[in-house]
């Protein structure tokens, strides 16, 4: 930068995802502009908002090459400097623009003057490695929900006084707030109750997957609920799992990192201090498993049986059937010979249209867009079942058997609900849960499909346990670990078995892959290739496009974080775990 800095200055990250800066601005010495505050600054011909990340400036660049311009005004007070520091460290770790995280950490728009003293000073700029923080795992009994267990643990003082909690969904966050209220702990919601947290009126915060960014200063513990949940592992931009963000926050704030889950990720379990609950677990519900051979009478038989049993305990039991897909049934299979049915005319894939008013189930060819009979092309048998269950298909099968209205999708008041995983997430009091192919409930090819299957089983068991209800698992090919989990009522051995099996197949879930591209990528990749990390490799895919691999994601991030890089996404673009090369 040319010229001297003015008497008072600030570095500002602007709310422009692809070109966030930081940029240096002059500040009126009388202005109450503090570290972390949200301000408005001139940016080219525009005015944009931004966040103060150094006060005074550390002399970097400014957006107009000709002259230093001034911060125009303060918009809102910022979170404590440790949150800003965590955001910047997390963005460095995730190799992403900090803007989306700064937006997530900001105070919601409220009327009234700022109540906080502006902070001055500098933030540490360092690569925080969240995997260097040793987590504590509080193992939740399979028949207890994570929110309930958090309530019990908070009441017992297990996490300390000042606690930041991140839950994977809004529903789980709400259940956690309720569970805490039942044990007399008042918790503020993040970001809604931002001011309460920032002013220290409440010392417990509950937020979503970005909940670790709550403006509660110096927490004793950062607690992550169910980090295996797909929402907590949202791998969109920035590439940052809830647990990574919590690890960064815990490292920056020097607090404990705590995981509360019945199904903690296997790699966390391997390096965590694990605490097992000492009290007697609550009564275990009836859990039955149905394999392919049991399904000849159809899924309707399973549900009807379960409802009949539930009616002995309650006149109007509630049942929830959770299936992997919406719409009609997919992939019809011959019950006699096991062949997959295809279109007789074109060989294309068939979907199964439900039976209606005396018309039996029929096939529909997606290619010809024509109706086809459901009859095996190999052996001629008309006995057909689907291998991909769906809401419409299962609801149509159930209707004649259960003789009551069936809701398709979440409906807390309906007697019988058939839905996808959403219905399980939003279910209230339920007596019977039928989980169809739990490993496929969230996509079929996910890296963590087996762990997730186990997680949904836990959710179903915890849901019915308080009603002394029943869980029926419909699994065509039951995983080897399932009987053991149900016998031991503990997920740990299964999680280890899943991890070992994956390692034996050479499918290391931790393998790190990234694609670097863009007009300025060459210099960045050249600098990276000087970094000495065993197993780190660079391959050129195309001009201006490189594939980087490392034995683990952690090592890859250490490599990426070790070379300074412009955050301008137009110049260098880094995709971690790219979906395609
Ligand atoms: Zn066809
Ligand atoms: Zn056949």
| Closest ligand by atom to 339 CA | 2
- The residues pairing with 333 across neighbouring beta strands, listed in sequence order, are 340, 385
pLDDT for position 445? 44
pLDDT for position 534? 83
As residues whose CB is below 5 A from the ion ligand 1, the structure lists 343, 345-346, 348, 365, 367-368
Instruction: Go through 539-555 and write b for each residue having 16 or more CB atoms within 10 A of its CB, e for each that does not.
Output: eeeeebbbbbebbbbbb
Residue 267, CA distances (Å) to 31, 309, 499 in order = 49, 40, 8
pLDDT for position 402? 85
Mean pLDDT of 294-307: 80
Structure tokens at 44: 């080219």
**369 C-alpha to ligand 1 centroid (Å):** 7
**381 C-alpha to ligand 2 centroid (Å):** 5
Residue 531 has pLDDT above 80, yes or no: no
**365 C-alpha to ligand 2 centroid (Å):** 18
pLDDT for position 1? 44
| Closest ligand by atom to 384 CA | 2
Q: Which residues, including other chains, have CB under 8 Å from residue 297's CB and lie 6 or more apart?
A: none
What residue spans of 348-415 are helical by DSSP H?
A: 391-402
| Closest ligand by atom to 349 CA | 1
| Closest ligand by atom to 347 CA | 1
The pLDDT tens digits of the residues spanning 208-237 come to: 989 999 999 999 999 999 998 888 876 554
> Quick one: DSSP state of residue 222?
E
| Closest ligand by atom to 371 CA | 1
**282 C-alpha to ligand 2 centroid (Å):** 46
For residue 46, the Cα-to-chain-centroid distance in whole angstroms is 35
| Closest ligand by atom to 368 CA | 1
pLDDT for position 444? 43
> Quick one: DSSP state of residue 171?
H
| Closest ligand by atom to 350 CA | 1
Exposure on the CB side of residue 474, measured as CA atoms within 13 A: 26
**326 C-alpha to ligand 2 centroid (Å):** 26
pLDDT band of residue 66 (cuts 50, 70, 90) is low
Residue 479 has pLDDT above 60, yes or no: yes
Residue 50 has pLDDT above 90, yes or no: yes
d(CA 264, CA 241): 14
pLDDT band of residue 493 (cuts 50, 70, 90) is confident
Sign of CA dihedral 558, 251, 20, 574: positive
Mean pLDDT of 166-179: 95
Residue 51, CA distances (Å) to 85, 104, 433 in order = 12, 12, 48
pLDDT for position 137? 96
* Nearest C-alpha neighbor of 31 from the set 43, 22, 41: 41
**389 C-alpha to ligand 1 centroid (Å):** 21
For residue 400, the Cα-to-chain-centroid distance in whole angstroms is 38
Kindly list the strands in the beta sheet with 362-365, ordered across the sheet, starting from the edge strand earlier in the chain. Answer: 370-372, 362-365, 350-353, 329-334, 384-388
For residue 95, the Cα-to-chain-centroid distance in whole angstroms is 19
d(CA 167, CA 475): 29
Residue 46 has pLDDT above 80, yes or no: yes
pLDDT for position 60? 61
For residue 294, the Cα-to-chain-centroid distance in whole angstroms is 34
pLDDT for position 2? 44
| Closest ligand by atom to 334 CA | 2
- Phi/psi for 232 (5° steps) reads -75, -15
Q: Which residues, including other chains, have CB under 8 Å from residue 283's CB and lie 6 or more apart?
A: 143, 465, 468
First to last CA, the chain: 38
| Closest ligand by atom to 385 CA | 2
The pLDDT tens digits of the residues spanning 371-429 come to: 998 999 899 998 888 877 889 888 988 888 887 889 998 887 889 999 998 899 988 88
pLDDT band of residue 115 (cuts 50, 70, 90) is low
508 vs 416, more confident: 416
d(CA 398, CA 392): 10
- Give all domains of the chain, ordered by start, each with its CATH number: 9-122 (3.40.1440.60), 130-275 (3.40.50.300), 286-327+390-504 (3.40.50.300), 512-576 (3.30.70)
pLDDT for position 434? 94
* Nearest C-alpha neighbor of 242 from the set 258, 262, 218: 258
Mean pLDDT of 338-347: 90
Mean pLDDT score across all residues of the chain: 85
Exposure on the CB side of residue 305, measured as CA atoms within 13 A: 15
With contact defined as beta carbons under 8 Å apart, do 342 and 348 qualify?
yes
d(CA 453, CA 533): 35
d(CA 530, CA 553): 19
pLDDT for position 14? 93
pLDDT for position 154? 96
pLDDT band of residue 314 (cuts 50, 70, 90) is confident
**364 C-alpha to ligand 1 centroid (Å):** 8
Residue 411, CA distances (Å) to 202, 419, 471 in order = 34, 9, 19
Mean pLDDT of 343-353: 89
């Amino acid at each position: 930068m040319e010229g001297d800095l003015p008497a008072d200055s600030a570095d500002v990250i602007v709310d422009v995802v692809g070109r966030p800066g930081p940029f240096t601005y002059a500040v009126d010495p009388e202005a109450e502009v503090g570290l972390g505050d949200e301000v408005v600054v001139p940016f080219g011909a525009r005015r944009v908002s931004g966040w103060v990340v150094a006060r005074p400036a550390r002399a970097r660049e400014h957006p107009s090459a000709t002259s230093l311009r001034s911060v125009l005004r303060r918009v809102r007070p910022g979170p404590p400097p440790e949150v800003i520091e965590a955001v910047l460290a997390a963005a460095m770790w995730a190799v992403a623009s900090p803007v989306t995280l700064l937006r997530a950490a900001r105070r919601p728009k409220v009327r009234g003057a700022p109540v906080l003293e502006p902070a001055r000073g500098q933030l540490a700029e360092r690569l925080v490695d969240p995997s260097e923080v040793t987590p504590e795992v509080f193992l939740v009994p399979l028949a207890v929900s994570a929110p309930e267990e958090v309530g019990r643990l908070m009441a017992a003082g297990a996490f300390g006084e000042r606690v930041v909690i991140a839950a994977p969904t809004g529903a789980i966050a709400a259940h956690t707030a309720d569970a805490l209220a039942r044990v007399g702990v008042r918790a503020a919601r993040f970001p809604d109750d931002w001011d309460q947290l920032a002013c220290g009126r409440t010392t417990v915060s509950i937020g979503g997957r970005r909940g670790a960014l709550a403006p509660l200063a110096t927490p004793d513990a950062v607690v992550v609920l169910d980090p295996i949940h797909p929402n907590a592992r949202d791998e969109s931009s920035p590439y940052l799992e809830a647990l990574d963000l919590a690890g960064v926050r815990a490292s920056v704030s020097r607090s404990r990192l705590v995981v509360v889950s019945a199904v903690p990720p296997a790699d966390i379990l391997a390096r965590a201090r694990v605490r097992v609950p000492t009290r007697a677990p609550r009564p275990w519900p009836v859990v039955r498993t149905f394999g392919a051979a049991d399904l000849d009478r159809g899924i309707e038989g399973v549900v009807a049986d379960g409802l009949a049993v539930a009616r002995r305990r309650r006149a109007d039991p509630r049942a929830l059937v959770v299936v992997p897909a919406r719409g009609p049934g997919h992939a019809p299979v011959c019950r006699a010979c096991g062949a997959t049915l295809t279109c007789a005319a074109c060989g294309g894939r068939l979907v199964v249209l439900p039976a209606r008013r005396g018309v039996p189930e029929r096939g529909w060819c997606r290619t010809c867009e024509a109706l086809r009979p459901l009859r095996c092309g190999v052996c001629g048998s008309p006995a057909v079942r689907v291998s991909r269950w769906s809401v419409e298909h299962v609801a149509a099968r159930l209707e004649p058997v259960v003789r009551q209205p069936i809701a398709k999708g979440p409906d807390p008041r309906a007697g019988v609900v058939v839905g996808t995983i959403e219905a399980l997430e939003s279910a209230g009091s339920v007596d019977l849960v039928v989980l169809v192919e739990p490993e496929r409930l969230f996509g079929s090819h996910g890296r963590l499909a087996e762990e997730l299957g186990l997680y949904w089983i836990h959710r179903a068991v915890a849901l019915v346990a308080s009603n002394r209800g029943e869980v029926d698992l419909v699994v065509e090919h039951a995983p080897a670990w399932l009987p053991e989990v149900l016998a031991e009522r503990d997920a740990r051995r299964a999680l280890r078995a899943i991890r070992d099996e994956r390692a034996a197949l050479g499918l290391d879930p931790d393998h790190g892959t990234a694609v670097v591209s863009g007009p300025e990528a060459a210099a960045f990749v050249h600098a990276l290739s000087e970094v000495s990390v065993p197993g780190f490799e660079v391959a050129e895919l195309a001009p201006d496009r490189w594939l980087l691999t490392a034995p683990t994601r952690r090592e890859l991030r250490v490599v990426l974080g070790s070379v300074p890089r412009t955050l301008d996404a137009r110049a260098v673009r880094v995709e971690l775990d790219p979906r395609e090369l």
